[in-house]
Structure 1
Amino acid sequence: MDINPVDAEAVRACYAGAAQAFMELSGRVPPQAWTRQALGEWDVRALTGHTSRALTTVEAYLGSPATGELVPGPVEYFLTVRGATSPDAIAQRGRETGEALGEDPAAAVREVVQRVTALVRNTPDDALVATPAGAMTLIDYLPTRTFELAVHTMDLARAVGLPPPASLTPALAASLELAGAIGSRLPSAGELLLLLTGRTGLPENLSVL
């Protein structure tokens, strides 16, 4: 997929902003809150660990050989990996990654954010990334990681009762666009549209209209 420089700059800015927001929020988690229930089977520590994978996977996949036909973009990535990993495996991986954050999870997140965002800044747009869906360019893969950071930073904010940092705002907008593009390719596209327009499933008065 060809990305013009303006688009590439926006993609990078969204990812950097989302990473910054995640780092800021994790730094504000009260010490007693790391064991608080957060999302599904995860406590706050495990959710934070899972969210950090939106950074560490970029680093790991850039360091792995990427061959074969390119996945053309983030929508195709999500459609390919959708349902490919069992919920139990995802839950266990989150717990393990959370434990690996050590005694000071916020400091561990800060180190990861600083390390990976520096790597991304110094890596060309067309560098190849070996993802679970296949080879991608870095600039096409980053929106999938911005999406993960945006969604799970919101999850984390809800779990600890804090507002999401303002630096997350561009990533939220980009992630809503990506979610709409993914949803439009699913058999449930009509139902998703009804959901977003407040017809069903959402609290009263919550709608994009």
Structure 2
Amino acid sequence: METSGVKSCYQGAAQALLELVAQVPEAAWSLPALGEWDVRGLTGHASRALSTVETYLAAPAAGPRLDGPVSYFTAIRAGASPAAIAQRGKETGDALGEDPAAAVGELVQRVTGLVGRTPGDALVATPAGTLTLIDYLPTRTFELAVHGLDLARAVGIPVPASLKPGIAASLELAGAIAAQLPTAGDLLLLLTGRTGLPGGLSVV
């Protein structure tokens, strides 16, 4: 996908998150959502797919140079702490304040504007290593797509049409990540309905 397409896909997924958050009823923010997160915590975690772009673009390049989104996820997978991720989500959710939808709206406007005017080859300094913006954005689109679906399920609201390109791009990225794992064969069997998925779900 060309630079403009990668940016457009990310911006659409960001807009989808905003559309979802805007539909969350006031009484639903404390409802269980995903693992340790309530709806607020899940929203906080999802919003980090925006705030990290802003933060990491401003940081000096450091660490190993990563050659793409698959390398990024491989590095993150090796060093991720589920407890730390859960806690960051809760803290970020709390920081959204009394009007999470307004806070997410401001973040979406600011970060999508930043992405639009930043060259694709600008360096992004993540905790896992440094990569270009155009290689980092698909990882953020992936987070927005997956957690957008999580949020829609938790609150019982439709998935916005603006998330469809992000879902499609994330399926491609998920396949590329899966191909690098020792469990690649098992995952292929899962996706083709051989085992695990309810209702005979399959990609073929």
Residue-by-residue CA offset, 1:43-81 (whole Å, 9 max, x unaligned): 000000000000000000000001465211000110111
What is the identity, as a one-letter code, of the residue corresponding to 2:195?
T
Asked if structure 2 preserves the Cα contact closer than 8 Å seen for 1:59 and 1:119, the reply is: yes
More helix by share: 2
Q: Which residue of 2 aligns with 1:162?
A: 157
2:14 equivalent among 13, 19, 30: 19
What is the identity, as a one-letter code, of the residue corresponding to 1:170?
P
2:123 equivalent among 125, 128, 137: 128
Q: Which residue of 1 aligns with 2:104?
A: 109
| Matched positions, count | 204
What is the identity, as a one-letter code, of the residue corresponding to 2:7?
R
Asked if structure 2 preserves the Cα contact closer than 8 Å seen for 1:71 and 1:135, the reply is: yes
CA distance in 2, matches of 1:185, 1:178: 11
CA RMSD between the two structures:
1.0
Q: Which residue of 2 aligns with 1:180?
A: 175
TM-score (norm 2): 0.98
CA distance in 2, matches of 1:143, 1:56: 15
2:188 equivalent among 188, 193, 204: 193
Q: Does 1:66 pair with 2:61?
A: yes
CA distance in 2, matches of 1:163, 1:133: 34
Moved over 3 A (4+): none
1:203 equivalent among 193, 198, 203: 198
2:34 equivalent among 31, 39, 43: 39
Q: Which residue of 1 aligns with 2:84?
A: 89
Q: Note the C-alpha offset of 1:201.
A: 1.0
Residue-by-residue CA offset, 1:114-144 (whole Å, 9 max, x unaligned): 0100111111111111012211110010000
Query: What runs of 5+ residues in structure 2 fail to find an aligned partner?
Result: none
Q: Aligned residues: percent identity?
A: 70
What is the identity, as a one-letter code, of the residue corresponding to 1:198?
G
Judging changes above 3 Å, is the alpha-carbon distance between structure 1 residues 91 and 78 closer, same or farther for their aligned structure 2 residues? same
Q: 1:204 aligns to what SS in structure 2?
A: helix
Q: Which residue of 2 aligns with 1:140?
A: 135
Q: Which residue of 2 aligns with 1:57?
A: 52
Q: 1:65 aligns to what SS in structure 2?
A: coil
Q: 1:38 aligns to what SS in structure 2?
A: strand
What is the identity, as a one-letter code, of the residue corresponding to 2:119?
P
